[in-house]
Amino acid sequence: MSDEQELLAALPRLRRYARALVDDRAGADDLVQDTMERAWRKLSGWRKDSDIRPWLLSIMHNLHVDQRRKPAIPTVTMEDDDLAAIPAAALYTERLIGHDLESALQLLAVEQREILLLVVLEEMTYEEVAATLNIPMGTVMSRLSRARERLRALVEGRPAPSTLKVVK
């Protein structure tokens, strides 16, 4: 498979991961585009004998971190046509469940959300995640554990577990 085909084959996974990282579709599309542009420029840095997915996700992770550091001004534009596209009340409950999970994911610390999405959504191994994010595997496992517990608490409506311990 050619380099171009490898990049194109990775697009659906990149879009899915970006959409989970960034809470709006346009921002996710921008992140994917920026990732692909940087990957194309640095294609010579990819080892041809390795899987392209961790390399691309690493690029996306670094871009996302860089973008988070920049102050952003959120804007929303709604047209009259957009209002007509709002789902009917019959579909509300079905969409609410997905929205609740998506909202709960957005409440996780970014470091926890990234790892949870890479392991669960992208089905990467702990070793692949550690290499992609350039962190120790123990950090991957502890962040994943905390992310899962926090997500459970959010979905169940429980308060977050306290990270501080009382010492007497």
| C-alpha–C-alpha distance, residues 137 and 121, integer Å | 18
Mean pLDDT of the chain: 80
Which DSSP letter does residue 24 get? S
pTM score, whole prediction: 0.56
In percent, the amount of the chain with pLDDT more than 90 equals: 22
SS (H, E, C) 81-135: HHHHCCCCHHHHHHHHHHHHHHHHHHHCCHHHHHHHHHHHHCCCCHHHHHHHHCC
| C-alpha–C-alpha distance, residues 17 and 28, integer Å | 9
Residue-wise pLDDT tens digits, 29-57: 999 999 999 988 888 887 777 888 888 98
| C-alpha–C-alpha distance, residues 163 and 137, integer Å | 21
Do residues 100 and 155 make contact, with C-beta atoms less than 8 angstroms apart?
Answer: yes
Category of 5 on φ-ψ map: left (φ > 0), alpha (ψ -120 to 50) or beta:
alpha
Domains of the chain: 1-76 (1.10.1740.10), 78-158 (1.10.10.10)
pLDDT score recorded for residue 91: 44
Residue-wise pLDDT tens digits, 55-106: 898 899 889 888 877 765 565 666 656 655 555 544 444 444 445 677 788 8
